[in-house]
A and B are shown apart, each in its own frame.
Chain A
Amino acid sequence: MQSRKLFNRISLLRIERNVSRKELAEAIGVNFQTVGYLEREEYNPSLDLALKISEYFDLPVDLIFSIKPLKPLSDELKELKNKKGG
């Protein structure tokens, strides 16, 4: 079965938090090359791995992964803020 392409913000979050691929890989229990595949969106993680990544970054899964191309994080946060405010 051909699965849909998943978009993600792993690379952005990793760089923002100054974490190396190796450190992230060790924390989520995968090979560091797998982190590279995830960042390049060449591999779709399992639900378990996606949850581990969201736990690691302490962010909701839908803020890290999406089936549509992701908007800049600042726009997303602005929308969330507006939703809460409205």
Chain B
Amino acid sequence: MTQNKSNTNRKIGVVINMTSLLVLMIISEYTFKYDRNTVLLIIGLAALVLILISFIFTYWKTRLWHFVHKPIRKLDERELQITGNLLRIAYAIFTVIALSILLLSSLMEMQVSIVTVSALIYFSHILPATVIAWKGWSWV
């Protein structure tokens, strides 16, 4: 029961984190290209705060961030196996998303803003932990 509750909480955390990241990227691209106004700035800041809060509760306190950033020499064989699987999935997701953004920006003849690039860097680091947060440990 408690396990199910924590799994659901983790999934909610992932949804909040990823949605806020997407909102932040869209707003930054919009303001970068078209219009800068106070309402968009406030929504952007709210998204940033949500990213921070959901990061603390979903990745930091659950130690998922620490697990995926542990040095290889400190991992045992089971952890190495999990990390290998996580990185394989994360690499596939990240390359498709990052290259799609680049392709889209090239097709639309649009410059990618610094916020989007920073968001992608954050996304690449958070993705392996997101896979565990979403699917749990038992699937490996």
A interface residue numbers (CB < 8 A to B): 29-31, 34, 37, 42-43, 45-46, 48-49
Contacts and interface: CB of A to CB of B under 8 A. Distances in A.
B78 A43 contact: yes
Interface in B83-140: 138
A48 to B, nearest CB: 8
Q: Does more than half of chain B's interface fall in helix, strand or loop, or is it mixed?
A: helix
A34 B79 contact: yes
B8 to A, nearest CB: 22
B35 interface: no
A48 B138 CA distance: 23
Contacts of B76: 29-31, 34
A29 B79 CA distance: 12
A46 B138 contact: no
A42 B76 CA distance: 15
